[in-house]
Amino acid sequence: MITITQQRLKCIGCNYCVEVAPHRWQMSKKDGRSQLIDSRERRGFWSVQVSEEEREINEKAAKLCPVKIIQLRG
Amino acid sequence: MAPAGNWESLQAALQAGADAIYFGVEQLNMRARATMNFTLDDLQEISERCSEKNVKTYLTMNTIVYDHDLTLVKAVLKSAVEAKITAVIASDHAVIAEARRVVMEVHISTQLNITNLETVRFYSVFADVMVLSRELSIRQVKAIVDGIKRENITGPSGNLVAIEVFVHGALCMAVSGKCYLSLHTQNASANRGACVQNCRRKYTVIDQEDGHELEIDNEYIMSPKDLCTIGFIDQLMDAGVTVLKIEGRGKSADYVKTVTQCYREAIDAVDAGTFSQDKVDQWMIRMEEVYNRGYWGGYLFGKELGEWTNASGSKAKTRKIYIGKGHHYYPKSKIAEFIIEAFPLQVGDRVLVMGNKTGVIETTVQSLHVNDDGAKEMANKGDRCAFPIDTPIRTSDKLYKIVSAETEEPSL
């Protein structure tokens, strides 16, 4: 398992994570920031545990993020 | 019009005599990173702090806008109307349309790259103020202003459309900031306010066919010097420009204060008929102390080539070093007390006090009272020290020493 974390409030809504990993990320129509699907928030960090097979596309999302708020652990 | 990237800068702009400030909330503006922005909850206080001083408040919302942003656009504009923000600076038509719907004054951002009278006429249906393209010459600016008067082009308010231009601050190599470079290398789109300023770095150009490096005098081939128009601000005002805009929401409060003060004085001098080269020289000396990449007059005299900087960062002649934090203020005796946390402070030092409510205070340490030991020449790390300052300071304020840019870090 790997843990994906997002510092959501720093998101600028560029949409890149959604472009590369649409099953894990979606744009919120409410505040224009991306949402980490199935994640839970703790002190400004949204995180979710996912299976190994999601590693590659989410690493790509993390790499593409212009404000570097996506992290993968594990 | 002065930039307010945070509370410190906003307060500095107010102290320096700005007539208007501009700022961003949330992410839909050209400085989208959170550190240069306010949040929706701040709108009311921004409005209150500024209206107390009769200063206008302009909300920038000028990135490209996607479908997923539309709800936020509406929410921000609704809050801005409720908070009595003066106007929104917009470029995307969705923002312009929504602002009109909620009856908010619209200013057209330089991102729309207005370069002619017919475009002014087109946008006059929606907007009372328009920021012209940064690439126009004074002659072209004047022709547009004259055309507005001649053809009586009015905005929604019924008044003639007012023309705004950038007078000071960073320029970039792209026309009206519409740049792909930062997106290309870092995936950080300038047009979504995430520019990483990679044009400001050194580059070499290599011919891929034979491997030869091109001979370039200056390695900073994509980084223009900063715009500075104070030397000919009278000509801009004569051309009929009514709003003079200072760039710098990403810059610090001392830059905002110094630059705004200088332009305030310059505008007042033009109005009073006392504008002179001597004064310009004095303003330039002051502005060379704060962040700059070297100055030039931009494209306002129709230069054929831009002037490129020869440094990666600032060429400011001074810099500030952190000394300590605010501790107490004695209003009767007008004495401010600080705790020294870093470098020593001496009598005669030029200092800055900066904070969210305080803005920027600049003074010279006339005398120094250290701990309970009475008058001293110097205070060191860990000391509590006091010296006279006319205006109150707060515990959240930071104390800096202004030193020459060449000064090495003093030892602790």
Residues of B in Cβ contact (< 8 Å) with A7: none
Residues of A in Cβ contact (< 8 Å) with B192: 12-14, 66
Residues B311, B313, B316, B317: what is their CA dihedral angle, to the nearest 10 degrees? -60
What sections of B16-87 are H helices per DSSP? 43-52, 70-82
Q: What angle do CA B26, B31, B37 make, to 5 degrees?
A: 40
Per-residue pLDDT at A57: 94
Please say if the pLDDT value at position B367 is more than 90.
yes
CATH for B2-172+223-296, options being 3.30.70.260, 3.40.50.300, 3.30.710.10, 3.20.20.70: 3.20.20.70
Which segments within chain A are labelled E, that is strand?
A: 2-6, 25-27, 34-36, 40-42, 45-50, 70-73
Q: How far is A33 from chain B (nearest CA, A)?
A: 8
Instruction: Return the CATH superfamily for domain B318-404.
Output: Translation factors (2.40.30.10)
Give the chain A residue whose CA is nearest to the CA of B25.
A12
The alpha carbon dihedral of B281, B283, B287, B289 has a sign of positive
**Strand, coil or helix: B230:** helix
Residue boundaries of the structural domains of chain B: 2-172+223-296, 318-404
Higher pLDDT: B31 or B78? It is B78
Residues of B in Cβ contact (< 8 Å) with A30: 71-72
Q: Which two tokens stand for residue B173?
A: 């190599």
Per-residue pLDDT at B345: 94
CA A28 vs. chain centroid, Å, equals 12
ipTM above 0.95, yes or no: no
Q: With an 8 Å Cβ cutoff, are A31 and B75 in contact?
A: yes
Kindly state the DSSP code that residue B24 receives in the 8-state scheme: E
B141-160: pLDDT as tens digits: 999 999 999 999 999 999 99
Please say if the pLDDT value at position A71 is more than 80.
yes
Chain B residues within 8 Å of chain A (Cβ atoms): 26-28, 32-34, 66-72, 75, 186-189, 192-194, 196
Q: With an 8 Å Cβ cutoff, are B194 and A67 in contact?
A: yes
- A30 at the B interface (CB within 8 A)? yes
Helix H or strand E encompassing B99: helix B93-101
Dmax over CA atoms of chain B, in Å, equals 75
Task: Average the pLDDT over each of B55-69, B248-262, B275-289, B298-312 and give the range with the smallest value.
Answer: B298-312
Q: Which of B75, B186, B194 sits opposite A12 (nearest CB)?
A: B194
User: pLDDT exceeding 90 applies to what percent of chain A?
Assistant: 89
Say which residue the tokens 């996912």 belong to.
A50
Per-residue pLDDT at B391: 92
Q: Is the separation of the CB atoms in B296 and B307 below 8 Å?
A: yes
Q: Are strands B375-376 and B398-404 parallel, antiparallel or unpaired?
A: unpaired
B176-220: pLDDT as tens digits: 777 888 888 888 888 888 888 888 887 777 777 877 776 566 667
Q: Which domains does chain A have, with CATH numbers?
A: 2-73 (3.30.70.20)
Q: How confident is the model at residue B36 (pLDDT cuts 50, 70, 90)?
A: confident
Residue whose C-alpha is closest to residue A31's, from B360, B191, B72: B72
